[in-house]
């Protein structure tokens, strides 16, 4: 039985082997088209990756390229395609290993194939540098000017075997050896330029480009912040340059316009100040032309002999002044008259000038006695408050000889219309000057000549400087008659041309209401807008300047004015020790209104 099973099994085995042999004999590999391969069957789009350029230039750059392609399925998903399965062709010829190696000049159409799937075709042009020529053409408008707007247009052209090419690479354009980023050129600098196209190791012929100056003329002008350009480092000349084209239209200045001061290049724009007396010449150069020459004379403000004036403060009823306090007050007053005080820190007037007047505390009283506190005369009044008539009456009781002292009365508790005012009197002069009364030398004062310094103002040195200015013959810079304000008149109210005047009423009105106030800004009757800096103006003013014309007026008064402690009235000059005496109220005295200086409320 076992043997039979074995035999049977052998037979089955033989049968199976027969089948195997049969199948093996039938085996004949058949192949299918590559397109039928399943992965490739999913390819819906074969896309050849573009090359870096459309045109390659033999003899200048590498022209061989390794080609790549990508396959995408129906949903634009990229499929992994073996590189070996992709074939690349150039002009129908298969490229070995997918490398494009053009051997000669020509146009090539390159595509990839995956089985029978063909990619898009890209075109590549191969040019031979040896057969190329670079030509630079230009479109230059006649009379091209350097205005920064007018432009020359350049068009570099490439010729291949004598034929103009299109859609090729763009050569660079160089102007005076520097590459420009566009094919147009505009400049504000006139001159002759050398233009050339370069690229691919080739250079075009050079083209000369002449760009004319856009300006027909340069005009130099200036404005001053003062009536006279003083060599005081305060007067300021603003130098301006304007350029005009052939149509006389103003044009923007080019960068090459330069300003020269006495032949030396200076920065522009220029605000010129100097303390060098003399002529200062300015000229502008640019656009290959030169401006008119501007000459500014910096004038010396003049040096006067210093006049020192003793001052006595008649302190009525109060006892606050001390020797130190008086010394400080007069030191600051002196600074004001020496053009050196600027407690506000504001801008100075361009015409600001030194008066050359100094003040000191009187050391000897009218009786010739040495004063216990220099410059201080304490006065006791039975009144506790004062109107202007009261002050006048009290002043006559303590009126020291004004040709020896500057009398300054300090009244507390001033009542009435002048409660917030200080005031002073004008002097009389022996020589005519507009705005002051004349009197014979030796005439006695017919009003208590001096300063009435409101007790409430005694911390304001500028108020004292202002009132002393009246004593030395100065008027308010604004239009008005003493305590009243007027609108703009035709005449200069202070007789000083270098102090602009304005409508005080309009100014004070401008300070009422509104939020955009400018307290220091004035609009002169001439229309000029300026900052108030003059001591003879007041609230609100920087109060830091006497102008040159004011100095001239004050020096006229010190030369010819009565009742002032000047060499004119005291020929010996200097400190006085002799008894000066008191001034008595004249018989039949009639009150004369002073110059009232109310502080706005």
- Report helix, strand or coil for 221: strand
Task: Give the tokens for residue 292.
Answer: 């008119």
Sole window of 40-48, 245-253, 386-394, 477-485 interacting with other proteins (rule: CB under 8 A): 40-48
Residue closer to other proteins by CB (options 21, 164) is 21
Nearest residue (CB) to other proteins, 5 versus 179: 5
Cα(169)–Cα(54) distance, integer angstroms: 8
When the beta carbons of 12 and 519 are compared against other proteins, the nearer one is 12
In whole angstroms, how close is the CB of 165 to other proteins at the nearest point? 35
Least separation in angstroms between residue 53's CB and other proteins is 28
Interaction of residue 1 with other proteins, rule CB under 8 A: yes
Query: What is the size of the binding site for other proteins (CB under 8 A)?
Result: 35
Q: Considering only residues 98 through 127, tell me which ones interact with other proteins, judged by CB under 8 A.
A: 113, 115-116
Considering the complex, what minimum distance in angstroms separates the CB of residue 126 from other proteins?
26
**Angle between helix 461-471 and 323-337 (nearest 10):** 60
Task: Report the residue count for the chain.
Answer: 601
- Partners of 148 in the beta sheet? none
3-state secondary structure (DSSP) of residue 550 = helix
Minimum distance from residue 74 beta carbon to other proteins (Å): 9
Backbone phi and psi for residue 541, each to the nearest 5 degrees, phi listed first: -150, 155
Give me 597's structure tokens.
Answer: 């200086």
In order of 107, 189, 308, 361, the CA distances from 561 in angstroms are 107, 64, 15, 21
Closer residue to other proteins (CB): 37 or 520? 37
Question: What per-residue string of b and e applies to 30-57 under the rule 16 or more CB within 10 Å gives b?
Answer: eeeeeeeeeebeebeebebeebeeebbb
Residue 13 or 511: which CB sits closer to other proteins? 13
What is the pattern of x (binds other proteins, CB under 8 A) and - over residues 56-95?
-----------------------xx-x-xx-x------x-
266 contributes a contact to other proteins by CB under 8 A: no
Q: Where are the beta strands (DSSP E) in 432-479?
A: 437-438, 451-454
Which one, 72 or 530, has the nearer CB to other proteins?
A: 72
Position of tokens 């039985």?
A: 1
- The least distance separating other proteins from the CB of residue 32, rounded to whole angstroms, comes to 5
For residue 174, the minimal CB distance to other proteins (Å) is 50
Token pair of 5 as six digits: 């099973």
Q: How far is the CB of 119 from other proteins (least distance, A)?
A: 14
Is residue 252 a contact point for other proteins (CB under 8 A)? Answer: no
Of 519, 518, 478, the closest CA to residue 502 belongs to 478
* Position among 12, 159, 519, 591 found at the interface with other proteins (CB under 8 A): 12
For residues 402 and 583, the answer to whether their CB atoms sit within 8 Å is yes
**Which residues within the stretch 132-171 sit at the binding site for other proteins (CB under 8 A)?**
none
Q: Does 19 bind other proteins (CB under 8 A)?
A: yes
Please identify, using beta-carbon distances, which residue of 71 and 296 lies nearer to other proteins. 71
Is residue 495 at the binding interface for other proteins, with CB under 8 A as the rule?
A: no
Query: How many whole angstroms separate alpha carbon 94 and alpha carbon 5?
Result: 65
**In the bound complex, what is the minimum distance in angstroms from residue 83's beta carbon to other proteins?**
9
Nearer to other proteins by Cβ, of 1 and 192: the residue is 1
Please name which of 544, 541, 537, 520 lies closest in space to residue 342, comparing C-alpha atoms.
Answer: 544
Reported for 25-32, long-range contacts at CB under 8 A and 24+ positions apart, including other chains, are none
Contact code string over 20-39 relative to other proteins, x by CB under 8 A? ---x--xxxxxxxxxxxxxx
Cα separation, 188 vs 246, in Å, equals 15
Nearer to other proteins, 1 or 163 (CB): 1
Give the footprint of other proteins on this chain (CB under 8 A): 1, 8, 11-12, 15-16, 19, 23, 26-42, 79-80, 82, 84-85, 87, 94, 113, 115-116
């Amino acid at each position: 039985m076992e043997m039979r099973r074995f035999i049977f099994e052998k037979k089955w085995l033989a049968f199976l082997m027969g089948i195997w042999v049969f199948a093996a004999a039938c085996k004949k590999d058949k192949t299918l088209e590559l397109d039928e391969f399943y992965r490739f069957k999913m390819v819906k789009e074969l896309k050849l990756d573009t090359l870096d350029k459309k045109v390659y230039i033999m003899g200048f750059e590498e022209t061989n390229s390794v080609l790549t392609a990508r396959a995408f399925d129906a949903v634009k998903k990229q499929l992994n395609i073996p590189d070996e399965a992709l074939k690349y062709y150039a002009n129908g010829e298969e490229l070995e290993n997918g490398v494009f190696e053009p051997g000669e000049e020509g146009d090539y159409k390159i595509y990839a194939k995956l089985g029978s799937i063909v990619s898009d075709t890209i075109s590549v042009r191969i040019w031979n540098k040896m057969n190329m020529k670079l030509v630079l053409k230009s479109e230059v408008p006649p009379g091209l000017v350097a205005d920064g707007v007018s432009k020359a247009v350049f068009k570099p052209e490439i010729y291949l075997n004598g034929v103009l090419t299109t859609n090729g690479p763009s050569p660079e354009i160089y102007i005076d050896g520097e590459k420009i980023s566009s094919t147009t050129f505009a400049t504000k600098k006139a001159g002759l330029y050398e233009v050339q196209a370069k690229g691919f190791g080739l250079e075009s012929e050079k083209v000369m480009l002449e760009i004319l100056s856009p300006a027909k003329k340069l005009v130099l002008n200036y404005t001053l912040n003062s009536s006279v350009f003083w060599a005081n480092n305060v007067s300021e000349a603003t130098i301006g340059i304007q350029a005009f084209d052939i149509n006389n239209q103003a044009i923007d200045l080019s960068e090459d316009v330069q300003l020269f001061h006495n032949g030396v290049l200076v920065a522009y724009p220029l605000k010129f100040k100097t303390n060098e007396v003399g002529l200062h010449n300015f000229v502008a150069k640019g656009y290959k032309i030169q401006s008119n020459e501007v000459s500014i004379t910096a004038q010396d403000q003049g040096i006067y002999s210093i006049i020192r004036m003793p001052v006595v403060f008649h302190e009525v009823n109060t006892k606050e002044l001390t020797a130190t306090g008086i010394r400080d007050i007069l030191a600051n007053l002196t600074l004001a008259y020496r053009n050196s005080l600027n407690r506000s820190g504001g801008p100075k007037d361009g015409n600001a000038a030194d008066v050359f007047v100094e003040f000191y505390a009187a050391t000897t009283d009218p009786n010739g006695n040495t004063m216990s506190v220099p410059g201080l005369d304490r006065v006791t009044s039975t009144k506790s408050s004062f109107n202007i008539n009261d002050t006048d009456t009290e002043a006559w009781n303590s009126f020291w000889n004004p040709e020896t002292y500057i009398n300054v009365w300090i009244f507390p508790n001033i009542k009435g219309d002048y409660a917030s005012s200080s005031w002073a009197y004008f002097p009389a002069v022996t020589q005519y000057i507009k705005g002051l009364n004349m009197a014979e030398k030796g005439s006695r004062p017919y009003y208590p000549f001096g300063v009435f310094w409101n007790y409430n103002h005694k911390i304001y040195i500028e108020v004292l400087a202002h009132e002393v200015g009246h004593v030395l013959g100065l008027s308010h810079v604004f239009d008005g008659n003493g305590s009243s304000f007027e609108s703009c008149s035709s005449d200069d109210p202070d007789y000083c041309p270098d102090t602009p005047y304005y409508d005080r009423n309009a100014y004070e009105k401008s300070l009422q209401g509104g939020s955009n106030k400018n307290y220091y800004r004035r609009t002169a009757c001439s229309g000029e807008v300026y900052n108030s800096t003059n001591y003879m103006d007041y609230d609100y003013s920087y109060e830091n300047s006497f102008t040159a014309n004011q100095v001239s007026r004050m020096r006229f008064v010190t030369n010819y004015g009565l009742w002032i402690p000047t060499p004119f009235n005291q020929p010996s000059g200097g400190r006085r020790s002799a008894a000066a005496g008191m001034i008595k109220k004249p018989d039949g005295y009639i009150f004369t209104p002073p110059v009232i200086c109310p502080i706005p409320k």
